[in-house]
Amino acid sequence: MRAVEARRRGWPLVRSTKELLLMEKFEPRAYKDYEWIVADPRLLGGALAVRGTRLSVALILECLANGMTSKDIDESFDRSFPREALPEVLKVASELKYRVRCMWLPNANIDVHVTGLLR
């Protein structure tokens, strides 16, 4: 059965070799003027990611915050993290603005909650 008819009937489609080749040529959109940071709705739902990987900027930042080195990150993700991307990951992180909510709790110090990132 032809792929067009399978799509029309709503059946699951096994991708053809031609479609797989088109997916391999997929080039996500660059974020601002960054070389290594991309933001494309077709990749990780539009979250900021490292070019050529499926690693989000947030994941890399979380790894760094937990004490991992760039070598540790690279080894943890099958050597897919390009070390050249690290300065851009840190730069884009510095550009993000945090929305911070401070609450005063009786019998405690000030409690600060980061409620989300703004673009």
Q: What is the CATH number of the domain that holds 32?
A: 1.10.10.10
Which residue type is seen at 50?
V
- CB neighbour list of residue 88: distance below 8 Å, 6 or more residues apart: 34, 35, 36, 37
Give the structural domain span for 101: 3-118
Please state whether the predicted TM-score (pTM) of the whole model is above 0.85: no
Cα dihedral value 67, 69, 70, 75, nearest 10: -100
Q: Residues of the chain with pLDDT > 90: what percent?
A: 36
Q: Write out residues in the chain with pLDDT < 70, as ranges.
A: 1-24, 97-119
Residue 95 has what pLDDT? 85
